[in-house]
Amino acid sequence: MTAERNILLDVRNLAVDYRTGSGILGGRRGHVRVLENISLRLRRGETLGVVGESGCGKSTLAMALARFVIASHGDILFDGRDVLRLDAAGLRAWRRDMQLVFQSPQASLNPRMTVHSIVSEPLVTHTRLDRGERRQRVEELLGETGLDPSFLSRYPHELSGGQAQRVVLARALALNPLLLVLDEPTSALDVSVQAQILNLLMRLQAQHNLTYMLISHSLGVVEHVSDRIAVLYLGEIVEEGPRDEVFRQPRHPYTQALMAATPVVDPSKRQVHRPLSGMIPGPASRPRGCRFHTRCPRAWSLCHDTRPRPQHVGDGHVAACHLLTP
Ligand code: SF4
């Protein structure tokens, strides 16, 4: 299979705007750009880690991919389909092939439904399996996520956070998706449970040849499972590349600052970069020039009014910073 044919998801120049104000009592009507010029490619079976602070647009990206928010510009191509121009039937098929997993497993589960009802719901809606076949499939799915049949009759409040996330994953796998977009799938869990869920995700990926977009504020989480890393700041990708290269040689000052702030087991491997200071601006007050210049320890006059263009800095490794301009 050629590299081109191996591309499952191809996001090109995606932009998302949110409307502000109602025009009556809600202040002036307008819009703010929350994602800008996002271009990403995912190959079948790989994991792309999307990392950045809270408020950088990570969750909006997940919602835009699922078409829960409307893109203002750009294209999303998935396995030959033009996602932004699908009709209702095409959109239903897309939402079977691409499953979203959210941060809070308990909040994702209907508290009035049993685990059996929750996991079998997509099978009822989208398949013709009879009751017995559905039950068998639900037991298989629970088994794959490490839960035995005794969980079938439990309600979400009877589950721990890790068990609830396993149920969410079982439901997400019910329709044999090709792509899972995982939005902070472990951040609501205890540290020991986080590792179990990440290991489960890797096992499921190998078993089902799944493709993942893993969205996280934690470099530690994305490092554990990703093949490639994209770093998002104020709605734009500032660096993207193979995991090992980005971790060994981060080129953008924002990536460097995130790494400096990440705990390491071996202090001799700590990156000697300045940690991040200040708060990420809101999308309504995005700075001109380089979006990062208000917090960048290496900013100079050019950064204040000129946007840096992405530069190739290695094999498949791109970063947008004036320091890298040849
Ligand atoms: Fe810092 Fe300037 Fe590079 Fe932006 S372009 S990251 S402000 S050095």
Per-residue pLDDT tens listing for the chain (326 residues): 455 669 999 999 999 998 877 655 555 567 889 999 999 999 999 999 999 988 889 999 999 999 999 999 999 999 889 999 999 999 999 989 999 998 888 888 999 999 999 999 999 999 999 999 999 999 999 999 999 999 999 999 999 999 999 999 999 999 999 999 999 988 888 888 999 999 999 999 999 999 999 999 989 889 989 999 999 999 999 999 999 999 999 999 999 999 887 766 555 655 566 667 778 888 788 899 999 999 999 999 999 999 999 999 999 999 999 999 76
Residue 40 in contact with residue 48, Cβ under 8 Å? Answer: yes
Tell how far the Cα of 139 is from the centroid of ligand 1, in angstroms: 52
Is 231 near ligand 1, meaning CB less than 6 Å away? Answer: no
Cβ partners under 8 Å of residue 267, min gap 6: none
DSSP assignment string, 72-113: SEEEEEETTEEGGG--HHHHHHHHHHEEEE-S-HHHHS-TTS
Question: What is the model's pLDDT at position 224?
Answer: 87
Structure tokens, 109? 């589960």
Whose structure tokens read 């893109």? 71
Is 290 near ligand 1, meaning CB less than 6 Å away? Answer: yes
Specify which residues 262 forms β-bridges with: none
Residue 166 in contact with residue 138, Cβ under 8 Å? Answer: no
Euclidean distance between CA atoms 128 and 179, whole angstroms: 23
Is 118 near ligand 1, meaning CB less than 6 Å away? Answer: no
Tell how far the Cα of 234 is from the centroid of ligand 1, in angstroms: 14
Tell how far the Cα of 266 is from the centroid of ligand 1, in angstroms: 29
Is 299 near ligand 1, meaning CB less than 6 Å away? Answer: yes
Is 83 near ligand 1, meaning CB less than 6 Å away? Answer: no
Label residue 277 exposed, middle or buried (CB < 10 Å: 0-12, 13-18, 19+): exposed
The closest-lying atom of ligand 1 relative to the alpha carbon of residue 296 is 1
Label residue 82 exposed, middle or buried (CB < 10 Å: 0-12, 13-18, 19+): exposed
Overall pTM > 0.85: yes
Nearest CA to ligand 1 atom 3: 321
Question: What is the model's pLDDT at position 25?
Answer: 54
